[in-house]
Amino acid sequence: MEQTEYHSRTAKTVAALLCAVFLPLMLIMTAILCMADAAAEHNRSAVTACFDTAVAIPASADITFREHIFQMRDCFAVLDSAAGELEVPEDVPPLDTTLVKSLFYWLNYGNESVRLSEEQAASFVACFVRFEERTREVERTEDPGEDRPEDPEPTPPPEEESEQEPEPVTETYQAAIPLMELPDIFQNLANHLNRSIDLQTQSGCLEIYYMVRYGEASRGGATDELIDILIDGESEYIGGAAGSPFAEDWRGHVTCEFGNGHRGIDLAFPTGTPIRAVASGTVVLARYGHYSYGNYLVIDHGGGVTTLYAHCSALTVATGQTVSAGQVIARVGSTGNSTGSHLHLEVKQNGTLVNPRTFIS
Ligand SMILES: [Zn+2]
């Protein structure tokens, strides 16, 4: 009895202490998160207004904001028309104009004035394709300028002639083949703009793209939905036997196991320690400043298998890049929701989180 009372008193004291200490902390945290959300929301509404001309700009919006939206909309129209000028063959995927505009948006974000001539738009859009000389069969069309004036009442041609009429001719044209590899596109843009486009800027460009293309799926905590969209579940596994995310053995560094709500495994290493891809694959997501994961990236190993590396101090590869097992992809840090320098590693198989211990070696 006494024991119970003592315990319940202790519990009450502890609860009171917890409230006294943590409640203000939690309120501060909530306030910070709300501020971050407000900034993200503002950003999101600017992007939406630029991409969707049907969206009315709120009357309360300040003049700079409105100016920015109108300029971007004008540029987007010029970019769309430049993209429309390209001759993309039907047997290749069409040019993703949302990608073109998203990259343009972020590369010009914060510029006081954004304008684009037709010529500039054409050379910007050209960074997203490669040109290839192709031939096609076209029906020879009679030159109306020569025949019509002298023959105002066209008489239907005799049967025999009309059968011979559609005489196909082969013509050569410059086919625009959309580039599928993001690193190639960024390289072309860097050459065109005559400036380097660092990995974080590349990531920012793609955030705009995800926002426009995938909407709600692009935000959120675990980003599972976005990853599912970005990977090709039908592909074959190309990862090979998975190794360690570090040059040295990881086993002595586990500070938090998988399970009980923990989505991965925590491996404590000093800040800056190189992180390696545990298996070969393609980087499908490289994000900076996520409120929970911090700087993180996701590798698609094919066959529905992905690995995620969170809280990094630096990412050294970009989205779309092919990486081989053991290649350095990032550096250990404590960004996002983290209390110490460590790597949070997640492994997913066909949409389900699995214990990384069963995957890496
Ligand atoms: Zn963790």
Positive or negative, the CA dihedral 125, 126, 130, 135 is positive
Q: Separation of 160 CA from ligand 1 center, angstroms?
A: 79
Count of domains for the chain:
2
pLDDT at 144: 53
Model confidence at 79, in pLDDT bands (50, 70, 90)?
very high
Q: In sequence order, what are the beta bridge partners of 139?
A: 168
Q: Separation of 214 CA from ligand 1 center, angstroms?
A: 26
Percent of the chain topping pLDDT 90:
67
Q: Separation of 156 CA from ligand 1 center, angstroms?
A: 80
Q: Are residues 213 and 226 in the same domain?
A: no
Q: Separation of 244 CA from ligand 1 center, angstroms?
A: 17
Q: Separation of 265 CA from ligand 1 center, angstroms?
A: 6
Q: In sequence order, what are the beta bridge partners of 299?
A: 283, 307
Q: Token digits for 233?
A: 């579940």
Q: Separation of 163 CA from ligand 1 center, angstroms?
A: 74
Model confidence at 156, in pLDDT bands (50, 70, 90)?
low
Largest Cα–Cα separation, the chain? 118
Q: Are residues 260 and 189 in the same domain?
A: no
Q: Separation of 122 CA from ligand 1 center, angstroms?
A: 46
Per-residue pLDDT reduced to its tens digit, 23-52: 444 444 444 444 455 556 667 888 988 998
Q: Are residues 58 and 183 in the same domain?
A: yes
Domain membership of residue 62 (yes or no) is yes
Domain membership of residue 260 (yes or no) is yes
Q: 22 versus 287: which is more confidently predicted?
A: 287
Q: Separation of 290 CA from ligand 1 center, angstroms?
A: 14
Q: Separation of 345 CA from ligand 1 center, angstroms?
A: 7
Q: Token digits for 195?
A: 């400036």
Half-sphere exposure of 262 (CA within 13 A, CB side): 18
Residue corresponding to tokens 């020569």: 146
Q: Are residues 209 and 238 in the same domain?
A: no
Residue corresponding to tokens 């950003």: 43
Q: Separation of 356 CA from ligand 1 center, angstroms?
A: 11
Per-residue pLDDT reduced to its tens digit, 254-274: 999 999 999 999 999 999 999
Model confidence at 2, in pLDDT bands (50, 70, 90)?
very low
Are 310 and 346 in contact, with CB atoms under 8 Å apart? yes
Model confidence at 163, in pLDDT bands (50, 70, 90)?
low
pLDDT at 111: 86
Task: Provide the residue range defining the domain that includes 87.
Answer: 32-137+169-219
Q: Are residues 228 and 207 in the same domain?
A: no
Q: Are residues 79 and 91 in the same domain?
A: yes
Q: Are residues 184 and 288 in the same domain?
A: no
Q: Are residues 233 and 251 in the same domain?
A: yes
Q: Separation of 255 CA from ligand 1 center, angstroms?
A: 9
Q: Separation of 353 CA from ligand 1 center, angstroms?
A: 13
Q: Are residues 239 and 279 in the same domain?
A: yes
Domain membership of residue 23 (yes or no) is no
Q: Separation of 286 CA from ligand 1 center, angstroms?
A: 18
Per-residue pLDDT reduced to its tens digit, 186-244: 999 999 999 999 999 999 999 999 999 998 888 877 789 999 999 988 899 999 999 99
Helices (H), strands (E): how many in the chain? 9, 13
Domain membership of residue 345 (yes or no) is yes
pLDDT at 39: 57
- Over range 281-296, report the average pLDDT: 95
Q: Separation of 294 CA from ligand 1 center, angstroms?
A: 12
pLDDT at 27: 46
For the domain that residue 294 is a member of, what is the CATH number? 2.70.70.10
Domain membership of residue 150 (yes or no) is no
Q: Are residues 120 and 210 in the same domain?
A: yes
Q: Separation of 307 CA from ligand 1 center, angstroms?
A: 13
Burial class, 286, CB count within 10 angstroms (exposed 0-12 / middle 13-18 / buried 19+): buried
Q: Separation of 341 CA from ligand 1 center, angstroms?
A: 11
Task: DSSP for 33-92, please give it.
Answer: HHHHHHHHHHHHHHHHHHH-TTSPPPTTS-HHHHHHHHHHHHHHHHHHHHHHHS---TTS
Q: Separation of 110 CA from ligand 1 center, angstroms?
A: 35
Are 111 and 64 in contact, with CB atoms under 8 Å apart? no
Q: How does strand 168-178 pair with strand 129-139?
A: antiparallel
Final residue before a domain boundary, out of 219, 236, 252 = 219
Domain membership of residue 3 (yes or no) is no
Are 288 and 356 in contact, with CB atoms under 8 Å apart? no
Domain membership of residue 10 (yes or no) is no
Domain membership of residue 275 (yes or no) is yes
Nearest to 351 by CA among 317, 300, 311: 300
What spatial distance separates the first Cα and last Cα of the chain, rounded to whole Å? Answer: 52
> Does pLDDT of 146 surpass 60?
no
Q: 122 versus 150: which is more confidently predicted?
A: 122
Q: Separation of 213 CA from ligand 1 center, angstroms?
A: 29
Per-residue pLDDT reduced to its tens digit, 121-133: 999 999 999 999 9
pLDDT at 32: 44
Q: Separation of 273 CA from ligand 1 center, angstroms?
A: 17
Model confidence at 55, in pLDDT bands (50, 70, 90)?
confident
Helices (H), 166-267: 182-193, 199-214, 224-230
Instruction: Work out the number of other CB atoms within 10 angstroms of the CB of residue 294.
Output: 20
What's the distance, CA 56 to chain centroid?
26
Final residue before a domain boundary, out of 219, 247, 277 = 219
Q: Separation of 312 CA from ligand 1 center, angstroms?
A: 12
Q: In sequence order, what are the beta bridge partners of 254?
A: 267
Q: Are residues 323 and 194 in the same domain?
A: no
Q: CA geometry: angle at 320 spanning 317 and 323, to 5°?
A: 55
Q: Separation of 266 CA from ligand 1 center, angstroms?
A: 5
Q: Are residues 105 and 202 in the same domain?
A: yes
